[in-house]
Amino acid sequence: MQPAMDQAMTWSEVAASFHVTTLDCLLTLPRMPRYQDVRTELRWLAEGDEPLGLLFVSHRWASPEHPDPGGELMRSLQAFLERVLLAVEALLAPREGRLRLVPAISKEGALQAEEVARRLLGFGPFAGRTASLAGAEARRILAAQYRSGGGGPAFRAWLAQRMAVWLDYVCMPQRPLSPAEEAEFDRTLQSLDRLAQSATLVALRHAQDDYALRGWCLLESFAGAGRSFARGVTVDIGRMARGDYVAVPPAPVAPDPFAAQVMREAYEQDLAAFRDACDRWVAEEPAFAGHVPPDAWSAYRSLQGSAFPGAAADPNPFRPALEVVRDLETALIGRWLMAEAPGVFDLGDEMRDLMVRHGVRCADADQRVLGFTLACNGWIAPLRPLFRECLRLACEAARSSAPLSGGAAPQLAARLLPIDPSARALFQAARPADAHAWHSRLSQVSRGPERGAVESLLLALEAQPPRFEMLAS
């Protein structure tokens, strides 16, 4: 299952809600500065500055006080951004020029940069999914610029001014905050997931890190993934710094002979597709901008999935988020959508328990903000208004450092009102009629005999959205 990809923003919305800078600005910074220290110095893109591509940088903070006190992360980000510029130019050049710029895409960093460049030029399933000009229009502009002046440093400098990047510590207010900065910080948190959906997410990671369990990293990768965990681009910064080739997982093993054979065949097919894509980069003579470039990244992600590694090496970078959201949605299907009578549900306590149960690591004060932002990116659209209201209240509580309700009243409790009886009756149209089965039916396109009931129920919930009342003190 993958989260819905229907809350992305236009560039106008991004420019109105966020401070987004340019790739060339980040390349000039000697360190990773706090937003308040550079807000009057950096170039912030406006509505009329629609970029050719938009990158959202996700990373693990080195400490609560500063994400990058030693500067390694900033150097790694700059090295990767330089590779992106080279990869875009390489796609526009014939073989000799291409290999001079990027000799191989089987290297860590080069593989991911080529994927970003492909999307920028409008190739692949994720092209045109960002709040930018990425796609056919971007390809036309890039090709015209390349033809007029050729490649080289001048072309890359021009491109760096037309690519947008969002990096949290640089682009949003950091504590301590003034009252005005508090308001901006709050607005950013409530729309952070939508920004991640509206960009190409680039996750900078270390081998064997705990990125996939850290709350903010998990949120960014989950929201930025949309409908495929291959949509986010992940870079092992240690391997990139050493100039290593990408890590190819070993062939899978399984105790059952039939399962082992199926896994081996899938692995060998994906490995062959990855190698073929890398070979195409080296062998083909004409520039790839005129036809489809090799799709090495998708083959590489498929290869990792086909190996079926254990949980410690799970290729899905947001599985804990998936579990949190699925469990909360399933509970609400049973206690709200299928219920005949009104009921009170303490979503705050439920979220806290789910975050702990699935091992999502974050400060206690962040649990509800993170959890409900995750839930806003779930599968069951009729539940999202409730999650957005819980997120708003959780942000208010975090800002005021005060409980949402006093006395014995539960925090973030909602009175859930029954849906229309004719709609509720549709839950009995398919068996089993339990919340877990219905979560599966409502979160993906059903092709079974219950398809009619599922479609009718979704239409009914769209026509008459489920009603709730937040309980205030």
Clarify whether residues 380 and 258 are in a common domain: no
- Are the CB atoms for 285 and 94 separated by under 8 Å? yes
- In this predicted structure, what is the pLDDT of residue 404? 47
Clarify whether residues 223 and 300 are in a common domain: yes
Q: How far apart are CA 67 and CA 64, in angstroms?
A: 7
Closest CA to 195 of 315, 58, 89, 75: 58
> Is the bond leading into 176 cis (omega within 30 degrees of zero)?
yes
Clarify whether residues 204 and 275 are in a common domain: yes
Clarify whether residues 303 and 388 are in a common domain: no
Q: Over 70: is that where the pLDDT of 343 sits?
A: yes
- In this predicted structure, what is the pLDDT of residue 4? 47
Clarify whether residues 333 and 189 are in a common domain: no
Residue 302, in any domain of the structure? yes
Q: How far apart are CA 203 and CA 205, in angstroms?
A: 6
Residue 51, in any domain of the structure? yes
Pairing of strands 200-205, 53-59: parallel
Residue 29, in any domain of the structure? yes
Residue 197 Cα distances to 137, 253, 339, 357, 366, angstroms: 20, 35, 33, 26, 21
- Are the CB atoms for 346 and 413 separated by under 8 Å? yes
- In this predicted structure, what is the pLDDT of residue 68? 97
Q: How far apart are CA 406 and CA 362, in angstroms?
A: 25
pTM > 0.75:
yes
Residue 5, in any domain of the structure? no
- In this predicted structure, what is the pLDDT of residue 405? 45
Closest CA to 206 of 85, 72, 303, 87: 72
Domain count, the chain: 2
Pairing of strands 200-205, 233-236: parallel
Clarify whether residues 291 and 366 are in a common domain: no
- Last residue within a domain, chosen from 263, 280, 312: 312
Clarify whether residues 242 and 341 are in a common domain: no
Residue 3, in any domain of the structure? no
- In this predicted structure, what is the pLDDT of residue 166? 98
Clarify whether residues 325 and 415 are in a common domain: yes
Percent above pLDDT 90 for the chain = 71
Residue 109, in any domain of the structure? yes
Confidence of residue 396 (pLDDT cuts 50, 70, 90): confident
- In this predicted structure, what is the pLDDT of residue 252? 82
Q: What is the mean pLDDT of residues 16-41?
A: 96
Question: What is the overall mean pLDDT for the chain?
Answer: 90
Q: Over 50: is that where the pLDDT of 312 sits?
A: no
Clarify whether residues 377 and 461 are in a common domain: yes
Clarify whether residues 348 and 205 are in a common domain: no
Name the residue range of residue 179's domain: 11-312
- Last residue within a domain, chosen from 258, 283, 312: 312
Clarify whether residues 253 and 187 are in a common domain: yes
| 93 class by beta-carbon count within 10 Å (0-12 exposed, 13-18 middle, 19+ buried) | buried
Residues 175-233 pLDDT 10s: 999 988 988 998 898 899 999 999 999 999 998 888 888 999 989 988 888 767 788 99
Residue 18, in any domain of the structure? yes
Q: What is the mean pLDDT of residues 121-146?
A: 88
Clarify whether residues 146 and 282 are in a common domain: yes
Q: Over 70: is that where the pLDDT of 402 sits?
A: no
Residues 96-130 pLDDT 10s: 999 999 999 999 999 999 999 999 999 988 888 78
- Last residue within a domain, chosen from 312, 333, 352: 312
Residue 4, in any domain of the structure? no
Q: What is the mean pLDDT of residues 300-309?
A: 75
